[in-house]
Amino acid sequence: METSDAPGVYALERACFPDPYPSVLLYDLIKSQGTRFFVAADSDAIIGYAVASLKGKDGHVISLGVDPRRRRRGVGTDLMSAVEMELAQQGAERIFFEVRKGNAGAILFYRRRGYRAVAETRHYYIDGEDALVLERSVESSADPDHREEPDPTN
């Protein structure tokens, strides 16, 4: 992610969300989150982005957006994998984020990645919609297909 990507990220933000973040917030996130801000591009067009923060051992995915015309092609998966790996390398032990309670497609996507609902935040979004707080441990983030095997010596 480079600051020159900011206009493309903002255009994508407006295309993806009914209540987009203001451009100044996205620019601040580009500057403040550095290695935790990823973009996906096709030629010169930004087609996806993901940004996360880290506070202590808690990673927080602030936003993930994929161009509606490019969804279901692995862009979101690649961006989430990049964010999860970066957070793990920086010492996160768990990753959480909020998702619209009515966004069934996104919830299914995240559940397939091993996230589970741990809380609900009422009236989280500007339009009053509730959010689900999803979480998973970083150990399971590194490999979505990884399952801990019991130690036969214990």
**123 backbone dihedrals φ, ψ, rounded to 5°:** 55, 40
Per-residue pLDDT reduced to its tens digit, 79-126: 999 999 999 999 999 999 999 999 998 999 999 999 999 999 999 999
CATH number, domain 3-141 = 3.40.630.30
Per-residue pLDDT for 129 more than 60?
A: yes
- pLDDT for 142: 46
Return mean pLDDT, the chain: 86
Bridge-based pairing of strands 131-137 and 116-121 is: antiparallel
CB 52 within 8 A of CB 83: yes
